[in-house]
């Protein structure tokens, strides 16, 4: 709203007890939203750009950014019809079905309880079906861009990276949207194809969005940024798997009283919450991250090793304090706490008109 973002989301020290009733999921089901229109326009622009630059000899990079399957969960009817609501299974990890949330997650749920706003199992199934329909919708639009690559003879010489900025909780643990460290939220698709990429290989080396920068530099013939912790995924795809490679994530935004950090390799995943007990998951035995083993005697040494590794990357308490200091400055710039709480869109960010 006005190009300033959700200023109210920076008010978290102290965090208000609740943000009030969530409006993020008020629009669910078949239809045609401004977000759908935006994505169709993005595909149109990308197809035209490829036609205009098909004969270009020097290296080029084209970023094609779709918003789907982001809320609002409104999807054209033909995609919605692919996922009958009576066939949708509800998430098994839910407080109503015996799952106990970590205190950090529980506090976030009190602040922004999207699940309560959605309300019923019928609405939850409708939301999941709409999300899946949006995945198919964006898949078709990506297909239009890839078709244009083939049409202009660029498919054999072009490296394509497919990724997203975050995942979606989609009702798991009674949570929606992103904002958590679990794989539903932090796991992103990462598909790489191109002339130097082994076709069909499932790479077991963990990667993250940090790796995209050096992948692009590498693929256009520029040296990788040695200051970046990322590595070209084209290189990783052509080297033996390294399941011990560790990826990192952190969260300092809406709905959290303290920072959350994540370290993950192929087998284990570690969550550090400032001021609260950590979580550790054995992903081979527990891929859904349902059982925290951090306090079990046989895992305490491993949990300590992960914490030490985290502290080699970042001082979690110092960075938590620094983030809050920056957010406090933003709040003051908008007139103080009460004014900031009223500043910014309460729902989905309006898309730019094309």
Mind giving me the DSSP string for 124-182?
HHHHHHHHHHHHHHHHHHHHHHHHHHHHTT-TTT--EEEE-S----TTGGG--SS-SSS
CA angle 135, 35, 2 (to 5 degrees): 140
Identify which has the larger pLDDT, 158 or 349: 158
Token match 């609501």: residue?
A: 85
Task: Report all structural domains of the chain as residue ranges with CATH numbers, in order of start.
Answer: 7-340 (3.40.720.10)
Q: Tokens 């400055």 label which residue?
A: 329
Q: What is the pLDDT of residue 353?
A: 66
Question: What is the pLDDT at residue 350?
Answer: 78
pTM of the model: 0.94
176-194 pLDDT, tens digit per residue, is 999 999 999 999 999 999 9
pLDDT digits (tens, 9 = 90+) for 114-139: 999 999 999 999 999 999 999 999 99
For residue 191, the tally of other CB atoms under 10 A from its CB is 10
271: β partners: 262, 279
The average pLDDT across 312-318 equals 98
Interval 31-55 mean pLDDT: 96
- pLDDT recorded at residue 20: 84
Question: Which pLDDT band, with edges at 50, 70 and 90, does 1 fall under?
Answer: very low
The alpha-carbon radius of gyration of the chain (Å, integer) is: 22
Confidence of residue 69 (pLDDT cuts 50, 70, 90): very high
* Mean pLDDT calculated for residue range 59-66: 96
Which residues, 6+ apart, have CB-to-CB distance to 316 below 8 Å? 259, 261, 272, 274, 310
Helix (H) or strand (E) holding 75: strand 73-75
Give the whole-angstrom CA distance, residue 334 versus residue 133.
39
CB contact at 8 A, 85 and 125 = yes
Segment (H or E) for 8: none
In the predicted model, what is the mean pLDDT of the chain? Answer: 95
What are the tens digits of pLDDT across the range 265-301?
A: 999 999 999 999 999 999 999 999 999 999 999 999 9
Provide the percentage of residues in the chain whose pLDDT is more than 70.
99
2 pLDDT higher than 60: no
Give pLDDT, residue 23: 80
For the chain, give the number of residues: 354
Q: Which residue has the higher pLDDT, 196 or 41?
A: 41
- Rounded to the nearest angstrom, the gap between the alpha carbon of residue 259 and the centroid of all alpha carbons in its chain is 17
**Is 25's pLDDT higher than 90?**
no
The arithmetic mean of pLDDT across residues 232-242, rounded, is 97
Residue 289: per-residue pLDDT? 98
CA-based nearest residue to 64, from 86, 43, 91, 85: 43
């Amino acid at each position: 709203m006005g190009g300033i973002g959700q200023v109210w989301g920076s008010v978290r020290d102290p965090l208000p007890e609740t943000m009030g009733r969530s409006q993020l999921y008020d629009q669910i089901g078949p239809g045609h939203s401004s977000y759908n229109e935006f994505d169709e326009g993005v595909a149109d622009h990308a197809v035209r750009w490829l036609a205009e630059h098909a004969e270009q000899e020097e290296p080029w990079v084209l970023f094609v950014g779709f918003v789907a399957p982001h809320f609002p969960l409104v999807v054209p009817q033909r995609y919605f019809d692919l996922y009958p609501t009576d066939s949708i299974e509800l998430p098994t990890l839910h407080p109503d079905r015996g799952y106990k949330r970590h205190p950090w997650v529980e506090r976030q749920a009190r602040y922004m309880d999207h699940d309560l706003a959605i309300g019923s199992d019928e609405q939850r199934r409708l939301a999941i079906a709409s999300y899946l329909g949006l995945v198919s919708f964006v898949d078709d639009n990506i297909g239009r861009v890839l078709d244009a690559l083939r049409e202009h003879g660029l498919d054999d010489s072009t490296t394509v990276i497919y990724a997203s900025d975050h995942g979606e909780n989609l009702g798991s643990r009674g949570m929606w949207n992103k904002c958590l460290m679990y794989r539903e939220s932090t796991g992103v698709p990462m598909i790489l194809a191109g002339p130097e990429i082994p076709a069909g290989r499932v790479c077991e080396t963990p990667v993250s969005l940090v790796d995209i920068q050096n992948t692009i530099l590498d693929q256009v013939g520029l040296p990788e940024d040695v200051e970046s912790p990322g590595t070209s995924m084209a290189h990783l795809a052509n080297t033996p798997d390294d399941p011990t490679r560790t990826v990192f994530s952190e969260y300092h935004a809406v709905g959290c009283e303290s920072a959350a950090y994540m370290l993950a390799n192929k087998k284990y995943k570690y969550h550090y919450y400032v001021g609260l007990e950590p979580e550790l998951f054995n992903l081979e035995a527990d891929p859904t991250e349902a059982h925290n083993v951090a306090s079990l005697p046989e895992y305490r040494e491993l949990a300590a090793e992960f914490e030490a590794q985290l502290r080699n990357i970042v001082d979690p308490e110092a960075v938590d304090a620094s983030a809050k200091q920056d957010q406090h400055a933003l709040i003051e710039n908008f007139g103080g706490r009460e004014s900031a709480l009223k500043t910014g869109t309460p729902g989905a960010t309006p898309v730019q008109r094309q």
